[in-house]
Each structure stands twice: as C-alpha cells, then as structure tokens.
Chain A
C-alpha cells in the first residue's frame, strides 16, 4: 500500500533520524558515538523540567474540564438534539477552527485592554487595564487551558451525544419507574453507557494537548512553557549542541504518544469508531 510507504518513509524515517540524533549521532556537532548523555541532560535541564510539569498539569486539567464540560453539554443538549441540524453544525465549528486562529482571537479578547476588559470597565467593575485578571501570557497557562477547553469540550460532547442518541432513553425510563433519582439515573444508567466514549475521546484530547505548539506559542509565556515550545526553542537555538537535546525531547514525546495510541486502540476495537474521531 503506497500510503503505508509514505507513513513509514516520512514519519518512520524522521523518527529514526531523531532517534539517531538523540543518541549521539548528530554529525554537525561532531558527535558519532552512542551516548545517553542527551537524555541525561534534558532530565536535569531546568527549562525542560518546568515544561514537563507545566505540560502535564495543563494537559490533565484541560482534558478533565473538557470531559466534564462535554458530558454536561451532551446531557443538556440531548433533549434538544433530536431534530436540530443547526446545533450539530454549531458544535462542529470549534473543531474546524485552526489552533492558531483561536489563539490569536483569545489573545486579543482576553488581554488586559481587550474587549472583555472594556466591557468590565463599562460596567464599572475595573478602573484600569491593570485591574483585569491576567488571562493571557500568564504564569499558570490559563489562556492555553481556555483555548483547549473551547476547542475540545464540543468534540467530547459530540462523541457522547452520538452514543446517547443511539442508546435512547428506555433504560433511564425503566430506572425512573423503579424510583431512581435523577442523580442515580445518571450515575448508574447513563454514565456506564457513555463511559467508553468519554474515555476514548479524552485520550485523544489528552494526546493533542500534550503535543500542543501553536496555542502555548501564542498565548503563553516563554517560561514556563509547554514541552513542544521548549523543544522548538532548543532545536532552533544558535547553540548547536542544544539540537541533540531537542531530538531527545521529540523521541520522548513520541514514546508518550505511542503509549496513548496503544491505550486508545485497546479501547476502540472496531473500525467504525474511527470515522467519528474528526480531529485536528
């Protein structure tokens, strides 16, 4: 199959070169012997360590919030979804908006002198731009988190809605007739049905956020930043000895992704699920 050839040559080939570069075979700096030094160096690098913790926390928090938000949105929309093609289209929009575009828009809307700050001012809630909470280029990555929540919540909601519409609500009715409260119906009837969908869509969201570049590049600080931005800085550093460290980071990030793809495949055994993953 020619397409597999493309993947193996371009993706696999690149991976092999990155791996070779990370293991001490990066010719431009005169390396040509096997070494694990680059991995040791990034393990003790302050920038990488900070980026690792920052990425892990941001990725987990935004995935968890998107999952909860997605479930709530799906349960709320479920009663209205039956005939509404408009609603379905509206939910698809965030998926088609490039990360770069959503970052640039948020950067301007949420800036200390942005539209939201001006509305706050108009209502007398703040007196100056400096009173507005720092939501972009902030130390905690709030802006980055917001961008991902805006993009991924509708995605998880769409996946969950597909399941909810397919299952119908007979089981919930039965539970209600037997005297189950709303919470009990959700916890013991609805949730078990949607759990696999939530898990597999969350895995995708997690992996995507983990490798994020554009969003932290535009909406974040240079320190602390996410792993992809740190790897990119090392790769483009004028100090060529940093390049093998970038290769090492790329290899480590690919290993994490591989682990998640394997987990994902364990959850979705059948092919039909794949076409629902309209992802960017």
Chain B
C-alpha cells in the first residue's frame, strides 16, 4: 500500500456533499412547481396546487407544441449528425492523410465558436436563400455544433476499433453489409450511443440559435421557458424547468450505468 494513498478517506463525505448539491435544487424545483402563495420569508409553501402542471398540460399554454418541436428537432438532428459523422470519424481514426490537423481545426472551430456568431452568420446565410423561420433552417443550424462533436467522439471509438476484424470477416465470406451489421456497428455501438445522447442534449438545450434562426416562429421548449421566466411566473417556470431537465436526468442515469459496468 502506498504511503500517500494510505490516507485514503471514505468517499462517503464527498458523495454526500455532491449528492446534496444535485438533489437540493431538484427538490426545490419540485416543491416550487406545486407551491401556492409561497413568499418570503416562508421556508416551506403554505399551500399546494396543481395549477402549474395542469396549465402545462393544457394545449392553450403552447407547451405541448413546444415539447413536440423540441423532441422532433433534437431527434432528427441526432440521426443526421451521427450519419454525417460516421464516415468522417472513420477516416480520421483509421487513415493518415495530409491536412489532418487542418481537419481537426475545422472540427473544433464550430464547437467552440460562440453561438451568437454562428447564429448571426447562419441567419444571414439562410436569409439569402429564403430559409429562415423554417424547421429546416433550425435543424441545419443545430447541425453546426453537433456534427463536429459527433465526429470527435466517434473518432475515439474508431481509434479503439481493430480494422483487421473487417478483413477477417470478409475472408470468411461475409458481405459488405454483413460486415457493417455484425462487425463494425457492434464494436462502435457504445460510441454511437454516447455521441447520440450528447447530440440530442446539445440540440435540446439550444436557445439562442433556435430563437434567431427560427425567427420566434419555431417555438421549442427553451423559448417557452424563457417566456415564462420573463412573465414572472415562478411556479410554471419551475415545472417547465423540470421537464427541460428530463434528458439530462436520463443522461446521468445512463452514465451511472456505464461507469458501474466498466
């Protein structure tokens, strides 16, 4: 046993602190979403109410439309981003070519560029071709950060992939589709899963891009959320924030399982 690690402390304290830091805001959101007449200095709400939740379910609030928009856009963006990213990731991981550093540079730039710069430029571009205020333009705009992100994460998967397996399968008589279906895809499946979840979360969280490119006509969850916050309705904002956090919670559950298994 090493000298320094002998002082190994029980991880319980750290786990307790972090769990509290995560669960307390969540618990507050839940309580707030059911609260009525909850004003300073009351630590707990005096009355409870289903108002916020029944209002969100009511089609008049526009939340269901926004939720559907967010889901459809994020799903389409995820699928498109993965399909576009797979060949690029494979190329980068398995082949050495001139200008590889330039390609990496081009991939990092859209991920790290401020959303405002990408959105303003994208708006001017789409305006020129009459694409603004449409689902297509919003999806295209969401692809700007997600595609390079997926390329980089999938590159990691392909780096660990033994390409000789494909050749071996071919020698054993497998067709190209069979190789893809039974050899390549299963080995990079975890990478695809991680990239997909990330791409979904990135698209799901976009506020500024959707707002500018969609011209306020394509209404997604973040847009409605800011709207309620601006109107000062804390109860509805809290309830909607909880809905907005569902993909994050699913992501956390998935990574927890991933770490436990590995």
Contact of B115 with A by CB under 8 A: yes
**Known contacts A18-B121, A257-B112, A92 near B252 by CB under 8 Å:** yes
Do residues A228 and B15 form an inter-chain contact, with CB atoms below 8 A? no
Whether B87 pairs with A1 at a CB distance below 8 angstroms is: yes
Q: For the complex, what is the distance from the CA of A101 to the CA of B155, rounded to whole Å?
A: 30
Question: Are the CB atoms of B155 and A121 closer together than 8 Å?
Answer: no
| Interface-side segment among B39-47, B52-60, B162-170, B180-188 | B39-47
Task: Kindly identify, within residues 195 to 227 of chain A, every residue whose CB is under 8 Å from any CB belonging to chain B.
Answer: 204, 207-208, 210-214, 217-218, 227
Q: A6-24 toward B: CB 8 Å interface, digit per residue (1/0)?
A: 1110110111111011000
Q: Provide the A112-123 mask, 1 if CB < 8 A to any CB of B, else 0.
A: 010101110110
Contact A88 B117 (CB under 8 A): no
* Complex: chain A residue closest to B150, CB-CB: A3
What are the residues of chain B within 8 A of A169 when measuring CB–CB? 2, 4-5
Task: List the one stretch of A31-39, A62-70, A139-147, A258-266 in contact with chain B.
Answer: A258-266
- B193 interface residue, CB < 8 Å from A? no
User: For the side of the interface on B, what is the size category?
Assistant: 35 or more
- Measured CB to CB, the nearest residue on chain B to A278 is B198
Q: Does A272 contact B (CB under 8 A)?
A: yes
Select from chain A the residue with minimum beta-carbon distance to B228. A104
Contact status B207-A100, CB under 8 Å: yes
State the CA gap A87–B19 with chains docked (Å): 9
Could you tell me if A254 and B117 are in contact, using CB atoms closer than 8 angstroms? yes
Q: Are A82 and B8 in contact (CB under 8 A)?
A: yes
On whether the beta carbons of B9 and A108 are closer than 8 Å, the reply is no
- Given contact pairs A90-B22, A93-B22, A247 touches B43 in the complex (Cβ within 8 A): no
Question: B18–A265 contact, CB under 8 A?
Answer: no
Please state if B251 and A96 are interface contacts (CB–CB under 8 Å).
yes
B39 & A250 in contact (Cβ 8 Å cutoff): no
Cβ proximity bits B241-253 to A, threshold 8 Å, 1 near / 0 not: 1001100100110
Which residues of chain A are within 8 angstroms of B156 by Cβ–Cβ distance?
271-272, 274-275
State which residues 19-59 of B face A: CB under 8 Å.
19, 22, 25, 28-29, 32, 39-43
Chain B residues within 8 Å of A228, by CB: 114-116, 208
Give chain B residues whose Cβ lies under 8 Å from the Cβ of A18: 117, 120-121, 124
Collect the chain A residues with CB atoms within 8 Å of residue B147's CB: 3, 6-7
Interchain CA distance A154-B48 in the complex, whole Å: 35
Q: Give the secondary structure class of A's interface.
A: helix
Interface size of A by Cβ–Cβ distance < 8 Å?
96
Within 8 Å by CB of B107, from A7, A84, A122, lies A7
A-B contact pairs, 11 of them (CB 8 A): A11-B110, A11-B113, A79-B7, A79-B9, A80-B14, A89-B259, A104-B237, A108-B237, A253-B114, A271-B92, A274-B104
Enumerate chain A interface residues (CB-CB to B < 8 A).
1-4, 6-8, 10-11, 13-18, 20-21, 76-77, 79-93, 96-101, 104-105, 107-109, 113, 115, 117-119, 121-122, 129, 169-170, 172-173, 176-177, 204, 207-208, 210-214, 217-218, 227-228, 231-232, 235, 246-247, 249-251, 253-254, 257-258, 260-262, 264-265, 271-272, 274-275, 277-280
* Residues in B lying within 8 Å of A, measured CB to CB: 2-5, 7-11, 14-15, 18-19, 22, 25, 28-29, 32, 39-43, 84-85, 87-88, 91-93, 101, 103-118, 120-125, 128, 140-141, 143-144, 147-148, 151-153, 155-156, 159, 198, 201-202, 204-205, 207-208, 212, 222, 225-226, 229, 234, 237-238, 241, 244-245, 248, 251-252, 255-256, 259-260
